Amino acid sequence: MLHFDTISADIVKVPVLRNIQAELPPGSIIAVVGCNGAGKTTLLRAIMGFVKLRSGRILFDGTDLASVPAHNRTRLGIGYAPQERVMFPSLTVEENLRLPCQVSGFKKAAVDERLSMTLEVVPQLKDMLARSCAALSGGQGKIAALGRALMIGTRLVLLDEPFQGLAPALANQYSEALKRLQQTQPQLCILVTESNASLLKDVPDRTLHIERGALLPEQPKAPSRPDQPFSSLSLEAYS
Ligand SMILES: Nc1ncnc2c1ncn2[C@@H]1O[C@H](COP(=O)(O)OP(=O)(O)OP(=O)(O)O)[C@@H](O)[C@H]1O
Ligand SMILES: [Mg+2]
């Protein structure tokens, strides 16, 4: 579904993504975890076409995304909830949700259908539809941004640090929504970033770790017992 074929990217001539290789299958929730400045947002922005690659290719169902201009990538069924969750404050939540589908030329019936699917997955949005986006709290804004990404993201959904700053109750609602999404749309691939892996709990099927723009090798689970039990360590050196 999504294949990073040895991608590298620079921002103002500084390497920010380095030789990233990974295959993201459909029907999976993949987390990309790394500390601040590791390159998580840049990776998502590269998929959306907002960051130019220096080398490598991003293949989406076998198509090199370099051949698809950034403004057309959502039409492939890619939904994106950016870290700063830009919603139009002068529009209602419903208008914000409908917007990406309308811009992509969906007929009204198709937009209505996407909206009812989104409300099934994220029922909390029902009570927010008529509200102005300017009146949402930070957490409600994140839920609305998830809804907007789902409206257009029929194949791939990119969520940039969605759990950061969410109160525990909202975080639970958010992860339940992702699990419902996986059940209702089993072919969808969901890519979610976080700097704090513990916020993701059991949401991801697989976690990739990014450090200074490079993916770390995936490790099998560490053995629960150390190779050398502490009790057998020699204390002679300290005597
Ligand atoms: N517009 C920019 N101008 C200069 N450097 C940038 C810009 N955007 C990102 N960078 C640099 O690229 C690197 C990766 O940034 P990125 O935003 O992708 O990290 P991140 O993992 O998303 O971090 P965070 O957890 O803080 O969101 C950082 O070193 C950052 O300073
Ligand atoms: Mg970021």
Domain range for 210 is 2-216
Nearest residue to 210 (alpha-carbon basis) of 10, 69, 34, 21: 34
Total domains in the fold of the chain = 1
* Contact indicator for 78, 32 with CB cutoff of 8 Å: no
Q: Whose CA is nearest to atom 31 of ligand 1?
A: 37
pLDDT tens-digit map of 5-61: 999 999 999 999 999 999 999 999 999 999 999 999 999 999 999 999 999 999 999
pLDDT at 79 over 80: yes
**Best of 17, 42, 54, 211 to mutate for ligand 1, by most ligand atoms within 8 A of CB?**
42
Q: Whose CA is nearest to atom 10 of ligand 1?
A: 11
pLDDT computed for residue 93 by the predictor: 96
pLDDT computed for residue 232 by the predictor: 40
Distance 225 CA to ligand 2 centre (A): 35
Distance 52 CA to ligand 2 centre (A): 17
Distance from C-alpha of 228 to C-alpha of 76, rounded to nearest angstrom: 53
Nearest residue to 158 (alpha-carbon basis) of 201, 132, 190, 180: 190
- For residue 199, the SS3 value is helix
pLDDT at 166 over 50: yes
- For residue 140, the SS3 value is helix
pLDDT at 234 over 70: no
**What residues pack around ion ligand 2 (CB closer than 5 A)?**
40-41, 83
Whether 18 lines ligand 1, by a CB cut-off of 6 Å, is no
Distance 221 CA to ligand 2 centre (A): 27
| Pairing state between β 214-215 and 14-24 | unpaired
Sheet containing strand 156-160, edge to edge, reads: 78-81, 156-160, 189-194, 29-33, 206-211, 214-215
Whether 155 lines ligand 1, by a CB cut-off of 6 Å, is no
pLDDT computed for residue 237 by the predictor: 39
pLDDT tens-digit map of 185-194: 999 999 999 9
Q: Is residue 225 part of a domain?
A: no
pLDDT tens-digit map of 88-145: 989 999 999 999 999 888 999 999 999 999 999 999 999 999 999 998 988 899 999 9
Q: Is residue 211 part of a domain?
A: yes
pLDDT computed for residue 91 by the predictor: 94
pLDDT computed for residue 218 by the predictor: 81
Q: Is residue 221 part of a domain?
A: no
Q: Is residue 41 part of a domain?
A: yes
- For residue 19, the SS3 value is strand
CATH number reported for the structural domain that contains residue 192 in this entry: 3.40.50.300
* Contact indicator for 93, 130 with CB cutoff of 8 Å: yes
pLDDT tens-digit map of 217-230: 887 655 545 444 44
Q: Is residue 236 part of a domain?
A: no
Average pLDDT over every residue of 140-168: 94
Q: Is residue 204 part of a domain?
A: yes
What residue type is assigned to position 13 of the chain? K
Distance 76 CA to ligand 1 centre (A): 26
Q: Is residue 233 part of a domain?
A: no
SS3 percent helix, strand, coil of the chain, rounded to 5, is 40, 25, 35
- For residue 143, the SS3 value is helix
Average pLDDT over every residue of 202-223: 86
Distance 37 CA to ligand 2 centre (A): 7
Q: Is residue 230 part of a domain?
A: no
